[in-house]
């Protein structure tokens, strides 16, 4: 057995990995056999009940150590500590069985003590969940090759460390980019919940303690007897990992599902309905964590329908849950549609307007769940001022691991540096230190509850999120929920070692790519606080700056031909800055003290306004979009430098996505720059915008069976025009003679990949085939698709190192399929080192 594992260690690096084990691979470490003699020889797990997290900890330690060192330790559930053992259990149970707890500090709920000093290892939790967390911590050390002696206790920053899945009962996932739901299909709970258990294992390893399994836009049929039984099965799959079940509720269920004439939260029949439903669920899931409620938001029912307050709505559930120890997470994402012609209208004001006066009116088991920024998970937002306005209410921060507005897991965007701008922000309530992370922990305002929730979109894909690299966000979310003071880069490096390798080159390379990824994405999507300039009316994926304005959603930019930005000052604008405590208000009220990266969030300025950096707003837009896209290009060679150091399966998956991102970042860059150039008429000082000497526009090629197509919005096509086939079932041909000096080039083709058809294209150089590709990104990428030629479907394929002679004939033959007319935008012939 040991021999077999040893040879596995030698070849482990090249074995294909599909991502299912994520950061819990327990891959053999270099020279593992040298350590096995110094490892303890057995495991004592102080609970023999199989559903106990302590029991799980025992088997996890056994499997982990076998994987890492090739040594199989026996497990006993007997009393006490034998010599040279790893003992795992609760502090209380350890003491009861005669263990000495001297020197172990008092622990908070879910906290643990880990000691590897002396011959024995002690992993002791305040509760069973804490003991399991300690086992995962110890295994994480070992898997990273860290065998040092340690002895310390650790406790969570806050009790609420939840994830929210937005899974629908039909199996689809709102903002899901990693395949369909692991929990639901066809209106009910899936039979095989293996993946639910695997998910709980991953979450427990980063100390997440509850999962809300269904969409906040909830469906009341979740409450059927059959579905409640199914929820019981999910809770059973979670329980061995100490993860508790939560569910989202539809406020109108008493009417939609219960057949009552009302869902008024003060109506006795409604109260009886919810009490009964809650009692029913607790009979099946006695340890349910609680409810998540989205009320009076984006078309959802809520208490305001009956002129009741949001707190009366929240307390309705709180009272039903209270006898069972459950809690209500009540979302603060409440806003009305607005009219942009009103200069003072501002959606950012909504949360404070709706909730400030309710402070102190929520029951003690209600937590108000607040998105990190006042709008909606944008690439940069100021900290939500609601955190500074609820001093007598428990609060949690809502983060988004799902990259809804941030590249949908097709762009690498490592999010913790963004989250930290909020968690570490000092709101200066009453002119005293008031870090958001100390507000949500309950410490700043002495609240009993609080914490964090992250929207997560894991699906049936073996990569969980559709992308291997996106998993660093899920890992880091849990780590930061436990301790938000941690450094995002050091969390990232733990994740890299666990997920990929202990090799320094692998660690340094993925660190560089990840740490540069959010700044790059901000630079080529929307900078200076203007928000992610994506299509807010359709997919939330590709660029569409015009979609922000002239609608009621209030994600406005107020861009015209001279000016841009939202005036959120008190003096002349929407008054939003006045929702902050005085020191913060003064900083944002004044243009001189507003940081450049939030300038357009707070101020409406000329495009020629000078930034603190000295640059004008418009030139900064141009420069940032070029430099951001340039950075995204470098991720491809950086990743390629790891060939052979990462298994082929994951290497190829990531390479495909990084290549896609490199191409799509150029789509972003050009769309945004052309849009604002067209609007402002101010040219790029460096003369790049609208000037592409290495491109051959498809519409300028010799066409047969193809015709020019004016793309809308115009900025989604180079020179505003693409070509599409003239027929739905006959190939089109586009030809051109290349006039570039003879040499070696990278040859890129920009095309559109729509859902609803899989065209194929073949490219020739002088009758020699360079390659062939299919319009099947809808199957391979997972982002929200588009049925149009636009910024979501626009993409690039690149043929590397092509020998081209001056005068060569380039030909592309496109075969349409379904609704996809083999669209082409341009060909780009890139000398080495040129990005365009
Ligand atoms: C053992 O685990 C079960 C299931 O989690 C739990 O109910 C029981 O209290 C545990 N026993 C001890 C002694 O901790
Ligand atoms: C463990 O020891 C305690 C106290 O010595 C005793 O009460 C208990 O029954 C023992 N349990 C087992 C499983 O041996
Ligand atoms: C979906 O559920 C309905 C009943 O709710 C059932 O009639 C149908 O056969 C199911 N379909 C599948 C594919 O399981
Ligand atoms: C709620 O779920 C039921 C059963 O799956 C489905 O028929 C219904 O369309 C869903 N309602 C909404 C609003 O999605
Ligand atoms: C309580 O809920 C159960 C299951 O949904 C239902 O059968 C029962 O009629 C309800 N009782 C009341 C009083 O609403
Ligand atoms: C709510 O109050 C408004 C006036 O404030 C009134 O017009 C409306 O009828 C009330 N609605 C209900 C359901 O009581
Ligand atoms: C995972 O998703 C990717 C991209 O969406 C897809 O190419 C792959 O086939 C999926 N794999 C599985 C096992 O679902
Ligand atoms: C003040 O607000 C008005 C709209 O009410 C706007 O037109 C004007 O540009 C603003 N002035 C400044 C200095 O921002
Ligand atoms: C903005 O430009 C207009 C005209 O181009 C000018 O009158 C105004 O003073 C400028 N405003 C600022 C704040 O520079
Ligand atoms: C841009 O498109 C126009 C037609 O809209 C065409 O006349 C012109 O040649 C194109 N420019 C290039 C560089 O292809
Ligand atoms: C091709 O199909 C689309 C939609 O299927 C249709 O709208 C279009 O008219 C068709 N074009 C031709 C040339 O047949
Ligand atoms: C390419 O093929 C066509 C016929 O299909 C022929 O007329 C032409 O000469 C060929 N060109 C080259 C450079 O071989």
* Rounded distance from Cα 578 to ligand 8 centre (Å): 17
CATH of domain 160-499: 3.20.20.80
Using a 10 angstrom Cβ sphere, with 0-12 exposed, 13-18 middle and 19 or more buried, the burial of residue 356 is middle
Task: State yes or no: is 198 an active-site residue.
Answer: no
Q: What is the CA radius of gyration of the chain?
A: 28
Buried b / exposed e over 768-781, threshold 16 CB at 10 Å, is: eeeeebebbbbeeb
Judge contact between 366 and 315, C-beta under 8 A: yes
CA-wise closest residue to 199 among 22, 51, 332, 374: 22
Instruction: Looking at the CA of residue 563, tell me the nearest atom of ligand 8.
Output: 9
Q: Is 462 touching ligand 7 by the criterion CB < 6 Å? A: yes
Task: State yes or no: is 298 an active-site residue.
Answer: yes
pLDDT along the chain (836 residues), means of 10: 36 68 96 86 96 98 97 86 86 92 96 93 98 98 96 98 98 98 98 98 98 98 98 98 98 97 98 98 98 95 97 98 98 96 98 98 98 98 98 98 98 98 98 98 97 98 98 98 98 98 98 98 98 97 98 98 98 98 98 98 98 97 98 98 97 98 98 98 98 97 98 96 97 98 98 98 96 97 98 98 97 98 98 95
Q: Is 615 touching ligand 10 by the criterion CB < 6 Å? A: no
Angle between helices 471-482 and 194-205 (to 10 degrees): 50
What is the pLDDT, as a whole number, of residue 119?
82
* Rounded distance from Cα 598 to ligand 8 centre (Å): 19
Which residues approach ligand 4 with their CB closer than 6 A?
169-170, 187, 219, 221
Q: Is 473 touching ligand 1 by the criterion CB < 6 Å? A: no
CA-wise closest residue to 769 among 799, 743, 728: 799
Residues 6+ apart with CB under 8 A from 192: none
What is the pLDDT, as a whole number, of residue 11?
40
Judge contact between 753 and 814, C-beta under 8 A: no
Tell the residue nearest (CA) to atom 10 of ligand 4.
Answer: 219
CA-wise closest residue to 94 among 80, 108, 107: 80
User: Cα–Cα distance between 647 and 658 in angstroms, integer?
Assistant: 16
Torsion of CA 756, 758, 759, 763, to 10 degrees: 140
* Rounded distance from Cα 572 to ligand 8 centre (Å): 6
Q: Is 38 touching ligand 12 by the criterion CB < 6 Å? A: no
Instruction: Looking at the CA of residue 766, tell me the nearest atom of ligand 12.
Output: 13
What is the pLDDT, as a whole number, of residue 57?
98
The topology under which CATH files domain 545-566+604-680 is Alpha-d-glucuronidase, C-terminal Domain (3.90.1330)
Tell the residue nearest (CA) to atom 13 of ligand 10.
Answer: 697
Residues 6+ apart with CB under 8 A from 732: 703, 704, 705, 706, 723, 724, 725, 726, 813, 814, 816, 822
* Rounded distance from Cα 821 to ligand 11 centre (Å): 9
Q: Which CATH superfamily is domain 695-831 in?
A: Galactose-binding domain-like (2.60.120.260)
Residues 6+ apart with CB under 8 A from 811: 733, 734, 735, 763, 764, 765, 767
* Rounded distance from Cα 186 to ligand 3 centre (Å): 6
* Rounded distance from Cα 681 to ligand 2 centre (Å): 82
- 466: phi then psi, degrees, rounded to nearest 5: 90, -15
- 142: phi then psi, degrees, rounded to nearest 5: -60, -45
State the ligand closest to the CA atom of 720.
Answer: 10
Judge contact between 753 and 775, C-beta under 8 A: yes
Helix, strand, coil percentages (3-state) for the chain, rounded to 5, are 35, 20, 45
Tell me the CA end-to-end span of the chain in Å, nearest whole number. Answer: 55
Select from 79, 82, 87, 93 the residue to mutate for testing ligand 2; criterion: most ligand atoms less than 8 Å from CB: 79
* Rounded distance from Cα 54 to ligand 1 centre (Å): 8
- 829: phi then psi, degrees, rounded to nearest 5: -115, 100
Instruction: Looking at the CA of residue 697, tell me the nearest atom of ligand 10.
Output: 14
Q: Is 737 touching ligand 12 by the criterion CB < 6 Å? A: no
Cis peptide before 713 (omega within 30 of 0): yes
Cβ count within 10 A of residue 319: 17
* Rounded distance from Cα 42 to ligand 2 centre (Å): 19
User: Cα–Cα distance between 206 and 813 in angstroms, integer?
Assistant: 50
Using a 10 angstrom Cβ sphere, with 0-12 exposed, 13-18 middle and 19 or more buried, the burial of residue 803 is exposed
> Which residue in the list 298, 487, 583, 586 is annotated as catalytic?
298
SS3 144: coil
What is the pLDDT, as a whole number, of residue 83?
76
Tell the residue nearest (CA) to atom 2 of ligand 6.
Answer: 307
> Which residue in the list 17, 60, 250, 404 is annotated as catalytic?
404
What's the length of the chain? 836
Q: Is 803 touching ligand 1 by the criterion CB < 6 Å? A: no
Instruction: Looking at the CA of residue 239, tell me the nearest atom of ligand 1.
Output: 5
What is the pLDDT, as a whole number, of residue 632?
98
Q: Give the residues across from 455 on adjacent strands.
A: 164, 400
CA-wise closest residue to 535 among 785, 781, 216, 168: 785
Q: Is 82 touching ligand 7 by the criterion CB < 6 Å? A: no
User: Cα–Cα distance between 55 and 226 in angstroms, integer?
Assistant: 30
* Rounded distance from Cα 308 to ligand 6 centre (Å): 10
Tell the residue nearest (CA) to atom 7 of ligand 1.
Answer: 52
User: Cα–Cα distance between 797 and 666 in angstroms, integer?
Assistant: 12
State the ligand closest to the CA atom of 77.
Answer: 2
Angle between helices 488-499 and 471-482 (to 10 degrees): 130
pTM reported for the whole predicted model: 0.95
- 696: phi then psi, degrees, rounded to nearest 5: -115, 115
Measured over the CA atoms of residue 696, residue 702, residue 706 and residue 711, the dihedral's sign is: positive
Q: Where are the domains of the chain?
A: 32-154, 160-499, 545-566+604-680, 695-831
What is the pLDDT, as a whole number, of residue 651?
98
Judge contact between 642 and 506, C-beta under 8 A: yes
What is the pLDDT, as a whole number, of residue 6?
37
Q: Report the relative pairing of strands 327-331 and 366-371 from DSSP bridges.
A: parallel
Q: Is 719 touching ligand 1 by the criterion CB < 6 Å? A: no
Instruction: Looking at the CA of residue 18, tell me the nearest atom of ligand 7.
Output: 13
The CATH architecture of the domain made up of 32-154 is: 2-Layer Sandwich (3.30)
Q: For residue 39, how many C-alpha atoms fall within 13 Å in the half-sphere facing its CB?
A: 25
Using a 10 angstrom Cβ sphere, with 0-12 exposed, 13-18 middle and 19 or more buried, the burial of residue 693 is exposed
User: Cα–Cα distance between 464 and 458 in angstroms, integer?
Assistant: 5
The single-letter DSSP state of residue 715 is: G
What is the pLDDT, as a whole number, of residue 520?
98
Judge contact between 44 and 85, C-beta under 8 A: yes
User: Cα–Cα distance between 759 and 814 in angstroms, integer?
Assistant: 7
Select from 725, 727, 728 the residue to mutate for testing ligand 11; criterion: most ligand atoms less than 8 Å from CB: 728
Enumerate the H helices of 325-406 as residue ranges.
Answer: 350-355
Instruction: Looking at the CA of residue 277, tell me the nearest atom of ligand 5.
Output: 2
What is the pLDDT, as a whole number, of residue 15?
58
pLDDT digits 0-9 by tens, 753-809? 999 999 999 999 998 999 999 999 999 999 999 999 999 999 999 999 999 999 999
- CA angle 62/125/281 to nearest 5° reads 95
Tell the residue nearest (CA) to atom 7 of ligand 4.
Answer: 187
Q: Is 229 touching ligand 5 by the criterion CB < 6 Å? A: no
Q: Is 780 touching ligand 7 by the criterion CB < 6 Å? A: yes
* Rounded distance from Cα 606 to ligand 9 centre (Å): 6
């Amino acid at each position: 057995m040991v021999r077999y594992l040893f040879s596995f260690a030698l070849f482990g690096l090249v074995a294909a990995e599909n991502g299912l084990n994520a950061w819990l691979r327990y891959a053999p470490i270099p020279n593992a056999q040298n350590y096995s003699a110094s490892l303890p020889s057995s495991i004592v797990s102080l609970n023999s009940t199989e559903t106990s997290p302590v029991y799980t900890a025992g088997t996890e330690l056994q499997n982990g150590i076998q994987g890492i060192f090739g040594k199989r330790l026996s497990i006993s559930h007997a009393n006490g500590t034998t010599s040279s053992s790893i003992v795992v259990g609760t502090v209380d149970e350890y003491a009861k069985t005669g263990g000495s707890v001297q020197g172990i500090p008092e622990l908070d709920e879910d906290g643990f003590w880990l000691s590897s000093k002396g011959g024995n290892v002690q992993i002791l939790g305040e509760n069973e969940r804490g003991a399991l967390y300690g086992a995962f911590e110890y295994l994480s050390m070992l898997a990273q090759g860290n065998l040092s002696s340690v002895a310390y206790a650790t406790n969570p920053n806050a009790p609420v460390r939840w994830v929210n899945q937005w899974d629908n009962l039909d199996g689809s996932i709102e903002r899901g980019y990693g395949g369909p739901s692991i929990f639901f299909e066809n209106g009910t709970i899936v039979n095989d919940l293996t993946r639910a258990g695997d998910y709980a294992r991953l979450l427990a390893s980063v100390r997440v303690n509850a999962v809300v399994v269904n969409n906040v836009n909830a469906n009341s049929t979740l409450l059927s007897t059959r579905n409640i039984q199914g929820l019981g099965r999910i809770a059973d799959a979670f329980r061995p990992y100490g993860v508790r079940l939560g569910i989202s509720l539809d406020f109108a269920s008493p009417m939609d599902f219960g057949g009552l004439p009302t869902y008024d939260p003060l109506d006795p029949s409604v109260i009886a309905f919810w009490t009964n439903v809650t009692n029913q669920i607790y009979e099946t899931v006695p340890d349910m964590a609680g409810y998540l409620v989205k009320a009076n938001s984006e078309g959802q029912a809520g208490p305001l329908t009956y002129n009741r307050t949001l707190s009366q709505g929240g307390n309705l559930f709180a009272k039903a849950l209270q006898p069972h120890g459950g809690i209500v997470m009540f979302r603060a994402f409440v806003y009305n549609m607005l009219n942009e012609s009103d200069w003072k209208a501002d959606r950012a004001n909504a949360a404070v307007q709706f909730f400030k006066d309710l402070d102190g009116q929520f029951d003690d088991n209600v937590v108000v769940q607040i998105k990190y920024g006042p709008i909606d998970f944008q690439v940069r937002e100021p900290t939500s001022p609601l955190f500074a306005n609820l001093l007598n209410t428990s609060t949690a921060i809502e983060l988004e691991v799902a990259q809804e507005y941030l590249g949908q897991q097709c762009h690498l965007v490592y999010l913790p540096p963004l989250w930290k701008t909020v968690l570490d922000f000092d709101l200066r309530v009453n002119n005293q230190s008031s870090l958001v992370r100390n507000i949500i922990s309950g410490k700043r305002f002495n609240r009993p509850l609080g914490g964090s929730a992250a929207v997560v979109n894991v699906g049936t894909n073996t990569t969980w999120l559709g992308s291997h690299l996106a998993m660093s966000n899920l890992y880091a979310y849990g780590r930061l929920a436990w301790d938000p003071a941690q450094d995002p880069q050091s969390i990232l490096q733990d994740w890299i070692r666990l997920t990929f390798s202990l090799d320094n080159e692998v660690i340094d390379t993925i660190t560089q790519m990840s740490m540069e990824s959010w700044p790059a994405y901000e630079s080529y999507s929307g900078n200076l606080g203007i928000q992610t300039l994506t299509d807010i009316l359709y997919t939330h994926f590709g660029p569409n700056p015009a979609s922000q304005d002239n609608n009621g959603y209030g994600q406005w930019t107020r861009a015209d031909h001279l000016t841009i930005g939202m005036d959120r000052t008190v003096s002349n604008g929407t008054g939003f800055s006045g929702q902050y405590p005085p020191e913060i208000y003064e900083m944002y009220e004044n243009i001189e003290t507003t940081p450049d990266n939030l300038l357009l969030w707070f101020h409406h300025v000329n495009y020629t306004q000078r930034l603190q950096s000295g640059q004008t707003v418009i030139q900064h837009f141009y420069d940032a979009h070029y430099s951001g896209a340039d950075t995204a290009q470098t991720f491809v060679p950086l990743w390629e430098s790891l060939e052979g150091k990462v298994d082929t399966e994951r290497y190829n998956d990531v390479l495909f996505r990084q290549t896609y991102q490199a191409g799509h970042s150029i789509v972003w860059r050009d769309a945004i720059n052309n849009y604002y150039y067209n609007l402002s008429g101010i040219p790029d000082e460096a003369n790049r915008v609208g000037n592409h000497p290495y491109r051959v526009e498809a519409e300028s090629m010799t066409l047969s069976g193809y015709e020019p197509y004016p793309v809308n919005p115009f900025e989604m096509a180079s020179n505003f025009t693409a070509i599409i086939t003239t027929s739905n079932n006959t190939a089109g041909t586009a030809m051109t003679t290349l006039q570039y000096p003879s040499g070696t080039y990278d040859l890129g083709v920009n095309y559109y990949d729509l859902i609803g058809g899989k065209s194929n294209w073949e490219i020739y150089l002088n009758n020699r085939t360079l390659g062939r590709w299919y319009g099947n990104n809808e199957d391979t990428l997972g982002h929200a698709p588009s049925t149009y030629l636009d910024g979501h479907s626009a993409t690039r394929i690149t043929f590397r190192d092509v020998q081209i002679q001056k005068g060569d004939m380039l030909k592309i033959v496109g075969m349409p399929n379904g609704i996809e007319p083999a669209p082409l935008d341009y060909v780009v012939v890139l000398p080495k080192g040129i990005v365009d």
